[in-house]
Amino acid sequence: MKRIRWTIAGVALVVFLLNALAFTQGADQYQVRRQAVRDAMEPDSVLIVRNTPIVDDSGLSRTDPNFRYLTGLGSEGTALVLFAAKRTPPPGLPPGINYRSPTEILFRTAPPSATGRAAGPETLPSAPGFAAGTVRRSSDFQATFDSLLLSTSQTLYLDYRRSRMLNGPMTEDEQLLKQARDRGAALKIKPASSLLAPLRVIKTADELELLRHAAQITAAAERETMRAAKPGLFEYQLQSIIEHVFSINGARRPGFTTIVGSGPNSCILHWSENTRQTQAGDVVVLDIGAEYQSYTADITRTIPVSGTFSKRQRDIYEVVLQANMQAIEMLKPSVNMRDVSAKVQDVLGEGLLKLGIIKDKSQTFRYSLHGPSHPIGLQVHDVGSTAVLQPGMVITIEPGLYLPEESLGVRIEDDVLITPAGHEVITGGAPKAIGEIETLMKQGGGIDFRRYLVGVTR
């Protein structure tokens, strides 16, 4: 993950944004966000955010998160252009002329008419939070883009597609930038994410409401899967239960590919095939997240498919649980995440040592295969640095231990909001204590999808 260094200006920008958003809601919050970005831009610079769909590893297409963050729009939006708040007036400008206009331009398609038919090309679209005259048709964007490339003399903030091979063909974006420079453009390109990441990592009240709801839906799916799980079910059948709970609660899709890893697959960090049939004695890693109005939760629970942990499974689980809980207890503003990571590794190492699995804590890395945390929000691995915790950040805590020779992997993950006074676990609705999990699994009563089965399940 790209780390963004916090500067005094960056912190001041975030403080301004949070104070402003305390008194705004709806479309106003996006206006405040755009103004905060404009204030942070270099004088006379231009920022372009294109709503290029992002396709995840499961093939799902999503609105560009930066575009969504600044406009609140989905697929009906095409691009956004912001002009820096500090702009130098052209020489010889007559008195009374407002050289600061325009401050922003939104390109979008017109929404369908009341009859449900698509609006004609002559219909000028509008958008909440944008002043009259600042919204243009999507078809006008390319000409504006070309003009800005040629006319911008200072900095252009733009995230563009780059070729990954030195001798390979240039991307369309690289070709366009080269053509502009060949024609005399003297612009300096900076990533738009350098401005947006420090803002997006601090969640507003509206964002927190969406994240909490996504977490509640995800926790409900964890509980329902615990009730329904039993030996002989296929991983994809458990996945179907999870995603049914998502959709019936308004989360129309997962925030990332649902991971249901049983037995040996519990040791594969991003197992997503979900094809194995569970067997008695397996543990199952459920790493799942509902996406609700573009915001995603991320919860992992590990359960015994037979309903009761074995002695060995219990021992490993308790080590991971202690690492999870002790790390969460450390979370508060100004804490350095390196210290949290060190605590996780220390607890895991101490547990492995006591169980006789390692002889020295330096060997912990053999069984702990990933970092303990990442930010969440508009993306499951959201942008922005969480190296030093600040109020408004939402991060995961997800220690894990993996013993492939025993087909035993355990991961426990919670989503945690950093508050001014400490922290708030927003995923507490998903049981993680051994007793709670076993009690819930003994109750049964989960979704019985067998009534829908046709023929033989393979």
Report pLDDT digits (tens) over 330-372.
999 999 999 999 999 999 999 999 999 999 999 999 999 999 9
CA–CA gap between residue 218 and residue 290 (Å, rounded): 5
Q: Is the pTM of this model over 0.75?
A: yes
**Mean per-residue pLDDT, 193-217:** 96
* Cβ contacts of 266 within 8 Å, gap of 6 or more: 282, 283, 284, 285, 302, 402, 407, 408, 409, 410
Q: Is the pLDDT confidence value at 25 over 60?
A: no
Q: Is the pLDDT confidence value at 8 over 50?
A: no
The pLDDT of residue 114: 52
Sheet containing 394-397: which strands, arranged edge to edge? 394-397, 414-419, 422-425
316: nearest Cα among 358, 265, 373, 287: 358
The band of 21, judged by pLDDT with boundaries at 50, 70 and 90, is very low
CA–CA gap between residue 378 and residue 247 (Å, rounded): 18
**Two tokens, residue 369:** 């295969």
The pLDDT of residue 75: 80
What percent of the chain has pLDDT above 90?
Answer: 67
CA–CA gap between residue 272 and residue 236 (Å, rounded): 9
The pLDDT of residue 131: 87
Q: Is the pLDDT confidence value at 250 over 70?
A: yes
Mean pLDDT across the chain: 88
Fold of the 8-200 domain: Creatine Amidinohydrolase; Chain A, domain 1 (3.40.350)
**Mean per-residue pLDDT, 21-34:** 71
Q: Is the pLDDT confidence value at 198 over 80?
A: yes
| Strands 104-108 vs 259-262: parallel, antiparallel or unpaired | unpaired
The pLDDT of residue 92: 55
Domain with CATH 3.90.230.10 in the chain: 205-452
- Count other C-beta atoms under 10 Å from residue 395's C-beta: 24
**Two tokens, residue 135:** 């919204």
The pLDDT of residue 95: 58
Domain with CATH 3.40.350.10 in the chain: 8-200
Assigned CATH class of 205-452:
alpha beta
Residues 353 and 328: beta-carbon distance below 8 Å: no
